[in-house]
Chains A and B, each alone.
Chain A
């Protein structure tokens, strides 16, 4: 079965960067995009963008453009999300989520358990 494994938590200081991993198993890694979505306290789910695990192409939400980078390591079936210039408002649970097959890739059919990123001085 599809599994997406993320670290449980990260604590960072304002101005720092965080790099969150998402290790995939149970399917052919390179045939799907991987989305990143975050849920901040009291906010709604917020889509950050996706990476095509096959060719490395990326699409970022304009809100995060210039501050977020998605990469992947196909040999390790792992994608990474790096967010820089962290501020307190970035405190949130960050999810990786696999895009569905074919033309439905902008729906997420499997999700990781989430990584709580806390930004605090």
Chain B
């Protein structure tokens, strides 16, 4: 099973600041990685798939990069609605697995 490790566990930032979230895989997943956002009490929402492609309707301030084992989600300028938990997920191998999440909180 491919393990995904996200860091940091919590990121404390102010609105307007840049957020950089990391996801590291225990083995190569090529570019088969997605990012999801989950606001409190809400269902997860697909942000990025195949490492760098924004899903439909996702604002341009969200961007993804990386391949192999190291991936990054960047939020260029935090909006109030961006304070949430972010998960990465790989589709390279069965079972599909998720990272443990990074909580982006207001500083």
Contact = CB atoms under 8 A, between A and B. Distances in A.
Interface residues of B, number: 23
A118 B70 CA distance: 36
Interface stretch (B12-20, B61-69, B73-81, B91-99): B91-99
B8 interface: no
Best-surrounded residue of B36, B42, B96 (most CB of chain A within 10 A): B96
Contacts of A44: 87, 98-101
B96 A47 contact: yes
A87 B13 CA distance: 39
A21 to B, nearest CB: 16
Best-surrounded residue of B42, B50, B94 (most CB of chain A within 10 A): B94
B34 interface: yes
Contacts, number: 52
Interface in A79-121: 95, 97, 100, 104, 106-114
A89 to B, nearest CB: 17
Contact of B43 (A63, A95, A106, A107): A95
A45 B46 contact: no
Given A45-B44, A47-B97, A62-B95, A100 B49 contact: yes
A31 interface: no
A91 to B, nearest CB: 18
A100 B56 CA distance: 11
A47 B50 contact: no
Contacts of A30: none
Question: Closest 4 CB pairs between A and B?
Answer: A111-B43, A106-B91, A45-B98, A47-B96
6 contacts: A45-B98, A47-B98, A106-B96, A107-B49, A110-B46, A113-B42
Interface of B: 32, 34, 36, 42-46, 49-50, 55-56, 87, 89, 91, 94-101
Interface of A: 35, 37, 44-47, 59, 61-63, 95, 97, 100, 104, 106-114
Given A45-B101, A107-B49, 4 more contacts: A44-B100, A106-B96, A108-B46, A114-B43
